[in-house]
Structure 1
Amino acid sequence: MELFSDWSCWEGASVDNAPPSYKGHRYPVEVIAHCVWLHFRFPLSFREVEELMLERGVMVSHETIRRRCAKCGQSYANDLHRRRSRPGDKWHLDEVFIRVNGERKYLWRAVDADGTVLDILVQNQRDTAAARRFFRRLLKKACSVPRVVVTDKLRSYSAAHREVMPSVEHRSHKGPNNRAENSHQPTRQRERAMKGFRSVGGTQRFLSAFSGISPHFRPRRHLMTAVHYRVEMTIRFAIWDQITGATAPPTAA
């Protein structure tokens, strides 16, 4: 089983070991990083994070937490993305409808054979143009070309595949695309907790950061012993402290 401690940078990608700059921020990095972790790891509202921080003796408003999550969340997710191993050569793609301000939109998602999220994209349609846009974005972000892509029977996939990656094997079937569909479950849970999404842009920003941060703290626990799980989580928390520049969770004075 692969541990984070064995993970290397993707080929062609560099990892900047320096944490992001917090110049001009009122609160110390430990508070910011802890708030971001709470919001993206657990189904908590900004007001609930505010309450948890108050219990620890830290007075920070929910609006400040919202701004810090918006500003730092994607930066943290990008750094975690760069530190992951190169994705597998078999990609599973799927799309699911979500409600954004009461309107139906489509969330496109790609994962590799290990279930690692490669990219997500919120779009208005699920036609060929939407599939083509997602394929191109996915290839650019992954910095690699898969051996196989697995999709459902949606015709848009076949048309976009022939145009964007004709040399890649394409497998489509009617059965469930379990790798990708299982990856939708945390998003569904968060969607219910948030009582729906409010805007397309906000949804894309939140889910991009969420898809990068949340899985970092969700190892496949059912495949691990308790000791192995604790070791793995210790490693992951150490990586989180490194990319955020934090040293320890905030405590009451």
Structure 2
Amino acid sequence: MTSKRPPCYARHRFPAEVISHAVRLYFRFPLSLRMVEEMLAARGLLISHETVRQWALKFGQSFANQIRRRLSAPGDKWHLDEVVISIAGRKHWLWRAVDQHGVVLDILVQSRRNAKAAKRIIMPSVEHRQHKGLNNRAENSHQPTRRRERVMKCFRSAGQAQRFLSVHDQVGNLFRRPANTKAADHRQTRARAFQVWAEVTGIASAA
């Protein structure tokens, strides 16, 4: 008996499991599209990097939106932090709002620095606090972006950066390992994250 193919994968030659895996690799780890292509080839899957790019564009934001809805409610304290990134040779400002647990609440890419506008990305019901612990979590949340900048050789446009990082940070939230987590607890949390990913991408219903 063959498994039912989720509608969102209709007209795609490769199974949902392969597409889901490729998208997760691209957004979860600091890998270029060609690196993902090579990793898939090592498993006998001949998929071009352009195909991976198209999958990321088509499915990434949808997966991220579903992850956001399924994660636990964010903390009631947050900190907004900025970092300068280079896009097409021009300076841009990347803002991230992070709660007290290190979960990224939202991001905003600006071509001109506007702190007042950036603060509108945060829910009005949460409390804004600024102390060393929150500052460190916000600053640490920028580190994966720096790694991605190097791998991707900078972003091509502000829109591309906004789209990519909106997905990248939600996938990171799902698979995030909180500080001082015991190994057994981490394995349990990771297993739950994989289950959520399977549900979000439609793999669970196709099994």
Same fold (TM over 0.5): yes
Whose Rg is larger? 1
Q: Name the CA distance, whole Å, in 1 between partners of 2:134 and 2:104.
A: 17
Query: Could you tell me which amino acid in structure 2 is paired with residue 81 of structure 1?
Result: R
Q: Matched residues, percent identical?
A: 52
- Residue 149 of structure 1 aligns with an amino acid whose one-letter code is H
Which of 129, 132, 146 is 1:188 aligned to? 146
1:145 aligns to what? 125
Say yes or no: does 1:109 pair with 2:105. no
Deviation at 1:99, TM superposition (A): 0.5
Structure 1 CA distance for aligned equivalents of residues 133 and 28 of structure 2? 31
Give 4+ residue runs of structure 1 displaced > 4 Å after superposition: 173-176
Letter in 2 for 1:74: Q
User: Residue 57 in 1 paired to residue 44 in 2?
Assistant: yes
C-alpha separation between the residues in 2 aligned to 1:102 and 1:225? 43
Conserved 8 A contact 2:71-2:174: no
Q: Distance in 2 between matches of 1:215 and 1:82?
A: 12
Q: Note the C-alpha offset of 1:217.
A: 1.6
Aligned partners of 1:82, 1:176: CA distance in 2, in Å?
Answer: 23
| Offset of residue 122 of structure 1 | 0.3
Counterpart residue type for residue 145 of structure 1: S
Distance apart, 1:212 and its partner CA: 0.7
User: Which of 35, 38, 52 is residue 25 of structure 2 equivalent to?
Assistant: 38
Using the size of structure 1 for normalisation, the TM-score is: 0.73
Contiguous gaps of at least 5 residues in structure 2? 1-5
Shift, 1:53, TM fit = 0.9
Conservation of the 8 A alpha-carbon contact between 1:122 and 1:203: yes
Q: Tell me, in whole angstroms, the C-alpha distance in 2 between the residues paired with 1:85 and 1:92.
A: 18
Equivalent position of 2:158 in the other structure: 200
* Partner Cα separation in structure 2 for residue 215 and residue 27 of structure 1: 27
Task: Give how far 1:58 is off.
Answer: 1.3
CA contact (8 A) 1:46 1:62 kept: yes
- Give 1:20 deviation, angstroms: 6.8
Q: How does 1:1-253 map to 2 (within 5 A)?
A: 21-126=8-113, 130-139=114-123, 145-146=125-126, 148-150=127-129, 177-220=135-178, 222-247=179-204
Deviation at 1:85, TM superposition (A): 1.7
| C-alpha separation in 2, matches of 1:176 and 1:61 | 41
Name 1:250's counterpart in structure 2: none
Distance 1:175 1:36, change over 3 A: closer
What is the rounded CA distance, in whole Å, between the counterparts of 2:134 and 2:181 in structure 1? 26
Counterpart-to-counterpart distance in 1, 2:177 and 2:155: 26
Counterpart secondary structure, 2:47: coil
List gaps (5 residues or longer) in structure 1: 1-18, 152-172, 248-253
SS of the equivalent of 2:85 reads strand
Which secondary structure does the structure 2 equivalent of 1:133 belong to?
A: helix
Tell me the SS of whatever aligns to 2:8. Answer: coil
Q: Please give the per-residue CA displacement for 1:138-194, whole angstroms capped at 9, x wherever unaligned.
A: 33xxxx611x2135xxxxxxxxxxxxxxxxxxxxx7998222111111111211222
> How has the CA–CA distance of structure 1 residues 175 and 79 changed in structure 2, closer, same or farther, with 3 Å as cutoff?
closer
Q: Which amino acid aligns with 1:150?
A: R
Deviation at residue 137 of structure 1 after TM alignment: 3.2
Q: Partner residue of 2:3?
A: none
Q: 1:89 to 1:63 in 2, by over 3 A?
A: same
1:33-89, CA deviations, whole angstroms, 9 ceiling, x for partnerless residues?
Answer: 000011111111111111111111112111010010111111111111001122222
